[in-house]
Amino acid sequence: MAIKVYVPCDSTALSLGANKTAEAIVAEAKKRGLEIELVRNGSRGLFWLEPMVEVATNEGRVAYAPVFPKDVPSLFEANFLTGGAHALNLGLTEELAWLKKQQRLTFARVGITNPISLDDYLAHDGYKGLKNALQMTGAEVVKTVTDSGLRGRGGAAFPTGIKWNTVLGCQADQKYIVCNADEGDSGTYSDRMVMEDDPYVLIEGMTIAGIAVGATQGYIYLRSEYPHALKALNEAISRAEKAGYLGANICGSQHTFNLEVRRAAGAYVCGEETSLLESLEGKRGLVRFKPPLPAIEGLFGKPTVVNNVISLATVPIILDKGAQYYADYGMGRSRGTLPIQLAGNLKQTGLVELAFGSTLRELLYDFGGGSASGRPIRAVQVGGPLGAYLPESQFDTPLDYEEFTKIWAVLGHGGIVAFDDTVDMAKMARYAFEFCAIESCGKCTPCRIGSTRGVEVIDKITSGKDHAKNITLVRDLSDTMLNGSLCALGGMTPYPVLSALNHFGEDFGLPANIKAG
């Protein structure tokens, strides 16, 4: 029997040359007359070790990483097809400390299966949640999601079940499920991984949502920057349709659910749910006033569930194992797990799914291994471009929505970007304003004008012009944006700006901060 060799097809693995590694392995096997079965799996999320090659042995899958074409002949020499010793041999994948320390619920299958194989998905507990949901009433499904404590993983952390319940309670001839897959935050890639590496879990989650609230049409609003995710989703949707998991009479039931991927067009603001809905309707992505809530008047004026990829992809395991199973993980009001994405200047970057409650320090040093440059980590931005910058004195904060709120920071989508001590925080504050100016939809004045004025004020501060006056002015401007903007883009740009100013004042020409504690 041909030996299975796994080479990831995740786009980060591809960005490091996984295709060339795969080609080299196939060519070398052919040259040696060895029969192998090449499987293009998703990534295990140890991105600093990609391309990671795995071989199926009697003891389990053995990992070799990172493998580049030049390493391939020596791997064959070392009999890697039977798990042979080699400098790149990391042992059994399942035993790798990085993976063993995690609690992978949403990411249970990611990296293990061939993403577009429906058989693989079914063999690894796929569609068990849907099977259960089909035996329940809509209200029971919604209650299960509510009881699990799942909160919106896009950043706002609104309880998913409560949102669903509002849509369930609306009378309408048409309802929609919209997946917000416009993951535009720097330092985040968990949505992309789910869509590329386990697309069926998102499809299943959306189908369950549709059945729960009585929606028959779903849309995935996907970033245009994710071509590989687009391919994987479209292929998975088409296979799910053929197998009766989408379309009319799902799994022989009376339920109908159709799903379509719609490509975004590079506007960051369309990650805001009302702007996203405008875009889906074919308009400029201008933010809407709320109320009405999208749950009541959403897409095309109909009741609409708008959820992030991770929220929806977490629904299948909740319906499979029960609300309590999920709620047993976590701390305080942050129940379950959070897929954390380590990025920026870290030695060991990648996807870490953990129950809420771990600290930044554990993530940065135990998982991340410290900075990639070897210099001290000076600042960490959590939660994307609208998240606060945290100094070392805050690294012991547990990852929990409320704990982060207490220190005027946000967990957001769980992206962590580390900077070493070469970072200029005044420059990062300027960039935050600049980004807001580029991406503002222009509807509200604080965001449209404030962002541009913000860049100018920071420039005055760094050039020393009317220094004290402009420090006061930037605080005043931030206050206006914080309280007067229509959505989070203008409303949260002050987070990176003020946190940089408050914690790293020396970069703005202020006396060095006295470290608390």
Quick one: 237 or 299, whose CB is closer to other proteins?
A: 299
Using CB under 8 A as the binding rule, whether residue 381 contacts other proteins is answered as yes
Residues paired with 116 in a beta bridge: none
Query: In angstroms, what is the minimal distance from the CB of 254 to other proteins?
Result: 24
Distance CA 439, CA 450 (A): 13
* Choices 224-232, 240-248, 325-333, 358-366; region in contact with other proteins by CB under 8 A: 224-232
Based on the shown chain and the rule CB under 8 A, indicate whether residue 344 belongs to the binding site for other proteins: yes
Q: ω before 51 within 30° of 0 (cis)?
A: yes
Using CA atoms, how far apart are residues 159 and 286, in angstroms rounded to an integer? Answer: 25
Q: How far apart are CA 213 and CA 225, in angstroms?
A: 31
Q: By CB under 8 A, is residue 362 in contact with other proteins?
A: no
Distance in Å, CB of 18 to other proteins, minimum: 11
Of residues 261 through 300, those in contact with other proteins by CB under 8 A are: 262-268, 279-285, 299-300
Kindly indicate which of the ranges 70-78, 199-207, 342-350, 355-363 contains the residues binding other proteins, using the contact rule CB under 8 A: 342-350
Q: Decide: is 165 part of the binding site for other proteins (CB under 8 A).
A: no
Strand, coil or helix: what is 7?
A: coil
Cis ω before 291 (30° cut-off from 0): yes
Phi, psi at 444, each rounded to 5°: -110, 145
DSSP H helical ranges for 362-424: 401-406
- Residues 413 and 268: their CA atoms lie apart, in Å, by 14
Query: One-letter amino acid identity for 402?
Result: E
Count other Cβ atoms within 10 Å, centred on residue 97: 9
Would you count residue 317 as binding other proteins (CB under 8 A)?
no
Residue 160 identity (one-letter amino acid): T
Q: Using the rule CB under 8 A, is 11 a contact of other proteins?
A: yes
Strand partners, 220: 179, 261
Positions in 62-121 near other proteins (CB under 8 A)? none
Q: How far is the CB of 463 from other proteins (least distance, A)?
A: 19
Which residue number, 63 or 277, has a Cβ lying nearer to other proteins?
A: 277
> 54 forms bridges with which residues in the sheet?
6, 63
What minimum distance in Å lies between the beta carbon of 373 and other proteins?
8
Cβ closest to other proteins, residue 185 vs residue 353: 185
Kindly tell me which of 238 and 324 has the beta carbon lying closer to other proteins: 238
Output the CA–CA distances (angstroms, integers) from residue 323 to 65, 209, 317, 493, in the order listed: 37, 15, 9, 35
Looking at 438, 466, 468, 483, which residue binds other proteins (CB under 8 A)?
A: 438
The verdict on 314 binding other proteins (CB under 8 A) reads no
Chain centroid to Cα 429, Å, comes to 24
- Per CB under 8 A, residues contacting other proteins are 11-12, 14-16, 47-48, 50, 183-189, 191-192, 223-227, 262-268, 279-285, 299-300, 341-345, 349-351, 372, 381, 385, 415, 417-420, 423, 428, 431, 435, 438-439, 441
